[in-house]
Structure 1
Amino acid sequence: MNTVEVCFSTELFKCYDPKGKIVVVVDVLRATSVICTMMHNGVKEIIPVKTIEEAKEYKEKGYMVVAERNGEKLDFADFGNSPFLFTKEVVDGKTIVYSTTNGTNAITVGNEADEVVIGAFLNFTALANYLEKQGKDVLILCSGWKGKFCIEDALLAGAISGNLIGSGFFYTKCDSVNASIDMWAIAKDSMDTYIEKIAQKHRLKKLGLDDVIEYCFTHNLTSIIPMFNGLHITPLV
């Protein structure tokens, strides 16, 4: 039987051993939801970069760049970080460079893992089914906000963890798993009310970008599982 763990932020990731495990990166608002949307609409590959300087270098080389900090689009970028921007007409067949406040940092810290995959509510069932079939331990990495805990990522971690344990193929001795499962049990039947507690929701509202909230909490809009190979994110084949 395999184990499942949850790490609540990138700052805590050093406390975990990812070797031999599948790391599932989650950033519900908004990076992993955006990545799943891009993949669903046919993007060829996504190049995640940690720094603004790297993103600028790619822009100078002619790449399409998506970049934000603190929720807002950077001046040099082609796009900000709303999933609604990335229609099939915009991304189909394209290579896109991607840099965000939290999500791209989380994606790039798990290189010692056996696999790094991208999770969202948007690909929930496909992801859970994939994880159940791999026969490997799972570590869910919540992107958080600047190293801090985020409710929305913990909710998704709880939903995934609960599903895996419920399959009978996984168990846990991780307090973060049990806490996130309990949070999900409380929130899942009253999401509209619970979402009001989320700090990132209010950050986005202040910027006029909270139109994405309902979409990012929607289950199963895609069956695609994005995978990071250390350089690029591509759809799992």
Structure 2
Amino acid sequence: MEKRSLYTVLSPRLLDLYTLNGAIVVIIDVFRATSTIATALSNGARAVYPVADVDGCKTLGAALGAITAGERNGQVIEGLLHGNSPAEYPPAFIKGKELVLTTTNGTKLLHMALQQGAAEVVTGSFVNLNSVSQYLLKGDKDVILACSGWKDRFNLEDTLFAGAVVNQIGQYFSVNCDSALMAKEMYLLHQHDIKSFIRNTSHWHRLKAFGLEKDLEFCVTAGAAEVLPFYDRKSGALTALGASC
């Protein structure tokens, strides 16, 4: 049997260079959207609605009676109830509730992937690394690991996560993709010192200024929120696979 293909997209600006039709697209926004999504669902949220813009977040939140949350440039948006910190969504707060979320990079990329014909969309971060890898292995589709970056620019943390996935499952795919090979080599080089290495990243310095160091360390903690957020087109929501809205 011919192996499925696996590609890594290093920036949203490069997404249209890849064929998404028929593929599973993994949206990666380690700092912090996809870490927050996994955490909220792992802690019992019924659903997370990823919205590309602020007005849409407010409107949908009001219609659903849901929690509205989001950030731009690392800070909570005025008029929304909560931010994009995983720590804001413990079980005691989020269990049984719905969350409408908009962020600078991750939710925007998710909608780009849908518009460009992705067959399936899931979200990934170090906190749910194993759940993502196992789902991709069980699938029957090509895989696109899509890094959100920072305002269309490359970033290290998303690429490191893509490399962790390639390291776990790459042998079962055809990886004719230099960016995926580079991501894997970068991950292997730093897999034992990731929490130290990420302190060099531009995003770390950007978010550190807002006192978010604990957030950032959590976001690179493998297995901290093992759940598979799966996007359902009918409801427009991410839910833990197997759960319903």
Q: Give the alignment's TM-score, normalised by structure 2.
A: 0.92
Structure 2 counterpart of 1:157: 162
Shift in CA distance, 146/42, structure 1 to aligned 2, threshold 3 Å: same
Measured in 2, the distance between the counterparts of 1:199 and 1:180 equals 17
**Do structure 1's residue 202 and structure 2's residue 205 form an aligned pair?**
yes
Matched letter for residue 42 of structure 2: H
| Partner secondary structure for residue 47 of structure 1 | strand
- For 1:1-16, list aligned pairs within 5 A: 1-16=3-18
For the aligned residue pairs, the C-alpha RMSD in angstroms reads: 1.2
| Partner secondary structure for residue 195 of structure 1 | helix
Measured in 2, the distance between the counterparts of 1:116 and 1:123 equals 15
Which residue, out of 15, 28, 31, partners 1:29? Answer: 31
Task: Report deviation, 1:193.
Answer: 3.2
Task: Report deviation, 1:40.
Answer: 0.4
Structure 1 counterpart of 2:44: 42
The aligned length equals 235
Task: Report deviation, 1:234.
Answer: 0.9
The answer on whether the counterparts of 2:10 and 2:154 sit within 8 Å (CA) in structure 1 is yes
| Partner secondary structure for residue 200 of structure 2 | coil
Q: Give the alignment's TM-score, normalised by structure 1.
A: 0.95
Structure 2 counterpart of 1:121: 126
The answer on whether the counterparts of 1:107 and 1:228 sit within 8 Å (CA) in structure 2 is no
Measured in 1, the distance between the counterparts of 2:229 and 2:34 equals 9
Measured in 2, the distance between the counterparts of 1:7 and 1:171 equals 15
Matched letter for residue 130 of structure 1: Y
Q: Sequence identity, in percent? A: 34
> Can you list the C-alpha shifts for 1:46-68, whole angstroms capped at 9, x where unaligned?
11111112122234444310111
> Can you list the C-alpha shifts for 1:43-98, whole angstroms capped at 9, x where unaligned?
11111111112122234444310111000001211101110010112111111110
| Partner secondary structure for residue 196 of structure 1 | helix
Measured in 1, the distance between the counterparts of 2:51 and 2:130 equals 28
Measured in 2, the distance between the counterparts of 1:67 and 1:132 equals 32
**Do structure 1's residue 183 and structure 2's residue 156 form an aligned pair?**
no
Structure 2 residues without counterparts, runs of 5 or longer:
none
Structure 2 counterpart of 1:217: 220
Structure 1 runs of 4+ with >4 Å offset: none
- For 1:13-162, list aligned pairs within 5 A: 13-61=15-63, 62-111=65-114, 112-162=117-167
The answer on whether the counterparts of 2:38 and 2:226 sit within 8 Å (CA) in structure 1 is no
For structure 1, which segment, 121-130 or 136-145, has the greater mean C-alpha deviation from structure 2 after superposition? 121-130
Matched letter for residue 94 of structure 1: K
The answer on whether the counterparts of 2:66 and 2:97 sit within 8 Å (CA) in structure 1 is no
Measured in 2, the distance between the counterparts of 1:75 and 1:234 equals 26
| Partner secondary structure for residue 81 of structure 2 | coil
Matched letter for residue 138 of structure 1: V
Task: Report deviation, 1:192.
Answer: 3.4
The answer on whether the counterparts of 1:21 and 1:114 sit within 8 Å (CA) in structure 2 is yes
The answer on whether the counterparts of 2:218 and 2:224 sit within 8 Å (CA) in structure 1 is no
Task: Report deviation, 1:179.
Answer: 1.0
Matched letter for residue 75 of structure 2: E
